[in-house]
Chains A and B, each alone.
Chain A
Amino acid sequence: MTRFVVPRSLILLAVLAVMLTAPAWAGELRPFVRGSHAALVKEYAGRPLVIHFWSLTCAPCLVELPQWRDVQRRHPEMDLVLVATDSPDESAKLERTLARAGLSGVESWVFADSFAERLRFEVDKSWRGELPMTQLVGRDGKIEAVTGSVTAETLKTWLGGRGGVKP
């Protein structure tokens, strides 16, 4: 049996090639911790951003989830970020669910602090954890919260109005 020795530089090149061709977040869940929300809002400032909070434990969320794939396709002018309020322990399940919904390529986060009150408070002081909850972050940085499913009409109106308004 012949053993092939692959030069280390080739492995590195292969890794780099994969990283450059696929979005950095593909299939990866990122830990949503203290400060993550403010950092997200800052990172995407200047473009309409939708932050959608969902959970494996929420039946309406699972029904709504696949619709976000179509929303993203219809509205390339808007950024979409998904945040699961489950725990990193559920990563495998979350990734499977996202893949089934066709959302593997969307930037996804998962609550990674068991002190969920603190994370929710940073997101929205009045949020007790109802799901689904969606934040529409306008170009001007103003945040509107929608509890329950977001209709295509709501999103269109927002993008055509406050969400799309340049600061």
Chain B
Amino acid sequence: MKRLALALTFMFSVSPALAHDHAPKPRVAVTGCAEPILACARSATPAFGPGGKVWIVWSAAGQVFVSASQDRGGSFAEPVAVSEQPPATIDDNGEARPKLLALADGTLVVVYGVRVDKSYNAVTMISRSTDGGQSFSTPVRLLDEVGQRFETLVAAPGGRLYLAWLDRRNQRAAKAAGQIYNDTGVAVAWSDDGGVSFAGKRILADYSCDCCRLAATIDRDGLPVYAWRHVYGKNLRDHAVAKLSADGAALTPLRVSEDEWAIDACPMHGPSLSVDPAGSWHVAWYTAGKRRQGLFYARSDDGGVTFSEPQGFGHPARPPSRPQVMASGEQVWRLWKEFDGVTTTVMAQSSADHGQSWDAPRPVAATADASDHPLLVNDGAVPLLSWLTRAEGYRLLPLAPSH
């Protein structure tokens, strides 16, 4: 069998080239970017406070850092370490990522996952800053048990914080009992003291796909709504939405669409969810189901009971991915990634009629190297693209409707 000769680069350590008809292939060396700097981060997630203050949270070198900006993301101050512990395996692949919430009183709450074993079991850690991000409290574990991932943190107008995550406690219990249960639960907790302590912490819905992010937002009545890739039947990985009941005891999944994606695999591609001022729920997701493939959007005007016919979006020849949807005032925005073989472009479009019709998709930013998932965020005034790219660094770009 002939061997493959690869161009050798500085990245690879090479075995001695001995006279041998089977030239050894280059061996992989550790190439990691391991410095505690933003340039080594895989993801960065923003939070917005009053007065145009922006913070981003990111991880590098096994630590979580927060950087503050006084000029709406134009420049960032020296990063502050959220923890001073020995380096840990931070759960940060873009789909899972550290998150940050700026509360109305100026408190910052950071949540992140630390993976504790090779099976991707993580523990959720919480840390707070009450001095505007100059220092952070020693991170504490949300639960003693392991098996949390994809934590989300949202604040209701009354000040209550809702923390939700995908939870493997039932899976681990089943495994310990010799039973097979490969899926994950959705658990919710809440805090009335700005993230110091949390109540609830129970699994309220079962059978979530365990590798896709959970999406969270707050409905008009102050209760949280979630969207996730559910596992229907044996292995149909289609999407569900669910709103937490007022007593915090129930979270009933309602199906967004019947894509019929039967797959025993990890799509690692979760949905996005937003509630507009009129109370409609907007969902965007990726599927490769029997009935449809690509990025889709649907709206529910009745709290998730019924959804509009899924609308496809993105250029099919440039595999669109990582959809985001967000209502911003009277507009609804969606954005996503496209790749043409050379350049990754973030595309965006907006709707002025609650998602019935959309203006032409247009490029917002591009890169020709590795990039984080693009995030659609709002600083309280305008919708923005938040995007960390290897070549360009962190960017926060305002979006303007074309109509």
Q: Report which A residues bind B (CB closer than 8 A).
A: 12, 15-16, 19, 24-25, 28-31, 33, 36, 39-40, 43, 55-62, 87-89, 91, 93, 97, 110, 112-118, 121, 125-133, 147-149
Number of cross-chain contacts by CB at 8 Å: 140
Contact of A130 with B339 at beta-carbon distance under 8 Å, contacts A24-B3, A56-B118 already known: no
- Out of B28, B267, B317, name the residue touching A88 (CB < 8 Å): B28
Known: A24-B22, A128-B286, A149-B265. 9 other contacts (CB 8 A): A36-B6, A57-B120, A61-B266, A117-B344, A126-B293, A129-B268, A130-B266, A130-B268, A148-B263
Q: Are B30 and A91 in contact (CB under 8 A)?
A: yes
The 10 closest A-B pairs by CB, nearest first: A89-B32, A114-B370, A148-B265, A88-B28, A148-B264, A58-B266, A115-B370, A117-B339, A148-B263, A30-B25
Which residues of chain A are near B1, meaning CB under 8 Å? 43
Which residues of chain A are near B277, meaning CB under 8 Å? none
Q: Secondary structure at chain A's binding surface: helix, strand, loop or mixed?
A: mixed
- Bound-complex Cα distance A60 to B6 (A): 31
Q: Mark B354-397, 1 if CB is under 8 A from A, else 0.
A: 00000000000000011100000000000000000010000000
Q: Are A89 and B265 in contact (CB under 8 A)?
A: no
Asked if B219 is at the interface of the complex by the 8 Å CB criterion, the answer is no
- Bound-complex Cα distance A3 to B267 (A): 59
Asked if B69 is at the interface of the complex by the 8 Å CB criterion, the answer is no
Which residues of chain B are near A60, meaning CB under 8 Å? 182, 264-266
Which residues of chain A are near B210, meaning CB under 8 Å? 59
Q: Which of B312-349 contact A (CB under 8 A)?
A: 317, 319, 321, 337, 339, 341-342, 344
Q: Which residue of A lies closest to B12 (CB)?
A: A31
B89 to chain A minimum Cβ distance, whole angstroms, is: 10
Contact of A59 with B4 at beta-carbon distance under 8 Å, contacts A30-B27, A116-B370, A128-B321 already known: no
Q: Are A59 and B182 in contact (CB under 8 A)?
A: yes
Which residues of chain B are near A121, meaning CB under 8 Å? 319, 339, 341
- Out of B25, B265, B341, name the residue touching A58 (CB < 8 Å): B265
Which residues of chain B are near A62, meaning CB under 8 Å? 119
Q: Which of B1-44 contact A (CB under 8 A)?
A: 1-4, 6, 11-12, 16, 18, 20, 22, 24-32
Asked if B211 is at the interface of the complex by the 8 Å CB criterion, the answer is yes
Q: Are A30 and B370 in contact (CB under 8 A)?
A: no
Which residues of chain A are near B18, meaning CB under 8 Å? 12, 15-16, 19
Which residues of chain A are near B341, meaning CB under 8 Å? 118, 121, 125
Q: Are A57 and B370 in contact (CB under 8 A)?
A: no
Asked if B288 is at the interface of the complex by the 8 Å CB criterion, the answer is yes
Which residues of chain B are near A110, meaning CB under 8 Å? 28
Which residues of chain B are near A128, meaning CB under 8 Å? 267, 269, 286, 288, 319, 321
Q: Are B267 and A28 in contact (CB under 8 A)?
A: no
- Bound-complex Cα distance A25 to B370 (A): 28
Contact of A130 with B30 at beta-carbon distance under 8 Å, contacts A59-B120, A112-B11, A148-B263 already known: no
Q: Are A39 and B265 in contact (CB under 8 A)?
A: no
B208 to chain A minimum Cβ distance, whole angstroms, is: 13
Which residues of chain A are near B317, meaning CB under 8 Å? 125
- Out of B6, B24, B266, B321, name the residue touching A19 (CB < 8 Å): B24
Asked if B93 is at the interface of the complex by the 8 Å CB criterion, the answer is yes
- Out of B24, B30, B319, name the residue touching A89 (CB < 8 Å): B30
- Bound-complex Cα distance A127 to B28 (A): 24
- Bound-complex Cα distance A121 to B235 (A): 26
Which residues of chain A are near B32, meaning CB under 8 Å? 87-89
Q: Are A58 and B319 in contact (CB under 8 A)?
A: no
Which residues of chain B are near A131, meaning CB under 8 Å? 265-266, 268
Q: Are A130 and B288 in contact (CB under 8 A)?
A: yes
Q: Which of B279-330 contact A (CB under 8 A)?
A: 286, 288, 293, 317, 319, 321
Q: Are B24 and A58 in contact (CB under 8 A)?
A: no
Which residues of chain A are near B29, meaning CB under 8 Å? 88
Q: Are B266 and A57 in contact (CB under 8 A)?
A: yes
B288 to chain A minimum Cβ distance, whole angstroms, is: 7
12 A-B residue contacts at CB 8 Å? Answer: A16-B18, A25-B25, A30-B27, A31-B26, A55-B266, A56-B120, A57-B211, A87-B32, A125-B317, A127-B319, A131-B266, A148-B264
Q: Are B268 and A112 in contact (CB under 8 A)?
A: no
Q: Are B119 and A59 in contact (CB under 8 A)?
A: yes
Q: Which residue of B lies closest to A114 (CB)?
A: B370
Contact of A58 with B286 at beta-carbon distance under 8 Å, contacts A30-B28, A89-B31, A147-B263 already known: no
A115 to chain B minimum Cβ distance, whole angstroms, is: 4
B117 to chain A minimum Cβ distance, whole angstroms, is: 11
Contact of A31 with B6 at beta-carbon distance under 8 Å, contacts A130-B268, A132-B265 already known: yes
A63 to chain B minimum Cβ distance, whole angstroms, is: 8
Which residues of chain B are near A117, meaning CB under 8 Å? 337, 339, 344, 370-371
